[in-house]
Structure formats: structure tokens, C-alpha cells
Amino acid sequence: MHALQHILRRAIRSLWEQAYLNSVATFVIAAALLLMGVYLTVQFNLNAIVDSWDSDVHVSAYFKDDVPEQRRFELRDELAARREVASVRYFSEEDARRWLIDRVADIEPVLDELGPGVLPASLEITLVPERSNPEAIAAFARSLSSTDFDDIDDGREWVERFHAFLSLLQLLGAVLGALIVLAALFLVANTVYLIVYNRRDEVEIQKLVGATTTYIIAPFLLEGAAQGVLGGVVAIFGLWGVHRLLVVRLQEALQLGVAGDLVFLPVSWRLALLATGVVLGVLAAGVSVRRFLSTAA
């Protein structure tokens, strides 16, 4: 109990006395966490977007030009009656044109230039949730008559490609994250080694008067934990700054309303980032004190 007080006092004093080296270690941790945080924010937002697509799949069936309007309505009602179909919406050529003009500024002259038939009319079919899995959607798409429809887009291809892209991004992130952690560990461990080295007299004498290895190491580990917490807090504030900046920039760049949905990392992820910082700090301290004790016998 009292030993704990002594250890705490020692750690706090060292933080203070070696403020410069401790700041270096803290900023290295902060930088590493910031990089990881930026990556995680991107990943998190992309995941959220893809999830929203997953829950919002529909099949677009594009009519051939020569299908009369009467037949189009018949097909719509037929499909709406099917059990697996939740809803069907008819999307006329004019609807498609307006949808695009709403979203892409200055495209109207281009569409006029291209003339009619560029944007075919379509049915937008939403399946009941039980049938919204990739296989069921594909089967449904196949069941649609090919005499009436020119092209059937089940929306899966694109989503799947994006899923593949996300997996790749995840893998890349894991590799990059590991590299960042290793680099940070290396830098922090070397910084902490200097901190221990500056206190070598104290460490040697502690050993000579009967301090256990645990007792000698503990203050350094606490110091590492403090670096981790401080680094984590700095990183989270920095991340928040980057996030604000991105939201504003993105909103300026694209007027799509997508940027408004760019969310900050949820609390649990922020805590995980903080915990990573603490683990990093403690691990680095442990590694360097061990190294110091084994070389300085």
C-alpha cells in the first residue's frame, strides 16, 4: 500500500523532472494514434455507408425502348403482386432525367444534346427483407422476363465490388497499423530508455538497497501509461480537429449531402484508441527498462 504511494510519487516526479523526454514520447504516441484514428474514421464511415446500402438494396429493371407504357404498368402490377416483392416504383424517363439534374449541376444541356433514350424508364423493385440476401436477389433478377427488360441491375455487383475494396482497405489498414505501432514502439522505447538512463544512479542504488525488480520497473510503467493517456487525449482532440476540417471541406467540395453524414469515431472506438496508447506506452517502458536492467546488470 505504502509501496504504491512511493511508486506513484516516483512516477509523477519523473514525469515532471524529465518533462522534455516525456513530451517526446507522448507526441510520438499521439502521432501514431492520430494516424490510426484517421484511418479508423475513414474505415468506419465507409462501413456505415456500405451498411446503409446493404439494407437498401433494390433491383432496377430497365425497360426496352419499345415496350409500350400500358405493358410497363401491367408488369409493375404483376411484380407488386409477387410474394417476395415489398414495393415497386415506376421510374419514367422524365423521372430519371429530373433525378440526375437534381444531383449533378449543369448536366441538363448535356442530356439535351444526347437526346431521348439515354435514360431509360425503369422499375425499382424492393424485395421483402427475408429475400434481400445476395442469392435471393440474383434469383429474382433472373426470373424477370428478358423480352421486356433491356438490362437488370440487381445492385449487387457494385456493392460487392465495394465490399472487396473495403476488405482490401481493411487488410491494408491492419498492415499499416501494425507498422505504425511498431515504429511508435521503437521510438517510444528509445525515448524511455533515455529516461531510464538519466535515472541510472537511482536505479542502481535502489537495487543495492534491496528494491525488487517489480518495484524498480513499476514507476516507469506508470510513466508509460501516463504518456499513453496523454498521447491518446491529444490524438483524439487532433482527430476531432481533422474531422471538423474534413466535414467543412467535403461539404464545400460536393453538394451531395454525403459529407454531412461523415461521423466522428464513436466513444467506444475512441476509448479503444486511448487504450492502444496506454498499451503502447506501458509496453515501450517495459521493453526499455528490461533492456536497461539486463545490460546494466
Chain residues in the site for other proteins (CB under 8 A): 1-3, 5-6, 17, 201-202, 204-213, 215
Min dist. Cβ of residue 11 to other proteins (A):
13
Min dist. Cβ of residue 206 to other proteins (A):
6
User: Can you read off the three cell numbers belonging to residue 158?
Assistant: 457494385
Q: How far is CA 142 from CA 123, 136, 137, 152, 154, in A?
A: 15, 10, 9, 9, 10
Q: Which is nearer to other proteins, 150 or 202 (CB)?
A: 202
Kind and range of the H or E element at 215? helix 213-253
Q: Which is nearer to other proteins, 13 or 244 (CB)?
A: 13
**Chain position carrying cell 416483392:** 85
**CB 62 within 8 Å of CB 150:** yes
Cα(231)–Cα(278) distance, rounded to whole angstroms?
Answer: 8
Q: Which is nearer to other proteins, 145 or 213 (CB)?
A: 213
Min dist. Cβ of residue 282 to other proteins (A):
22
Burial class (CB in 10 A: 0-12, 13-18, 19+), 250: middle
Min dist. Cβ of residue 194 to other proteins (A):
16
Min dist. Cβ of residue 201 to other proteins (A):
5
Q: Which is nearer to other proteins, 2 or 83 (CB)?
A: 2
Instruction: Kindly report the backbone phi and psi dihedral angles of residue 43, in degrees, each rounded to the nearest multiple of 5, phi listed first.
Output: -60, -45
- 78-83 long-range Cβ contacts below 8 angstroms, 24+ apart: 79/123, 79/125, 83/128
Burial class (CB in 10 A: 0-12, 13-18, 19+), 175: exposed
Q: Which is nearer to other proteins, 84 or 202 (CB)?
A: 202
Q: Which is nearer to other proteins, 17 or 56 (CB)?
A: 17
Min dist. Cβ of residue 2 to other proteins (A):
5
Q: Which is nearer to other proteins, 143 or 212 (CB)?
A: 212
Helices of type H across 55-155: 69-81, 93-103, 108-114, 134-143
Min dist. Cβ of residue 272 to other proteins (A):
35
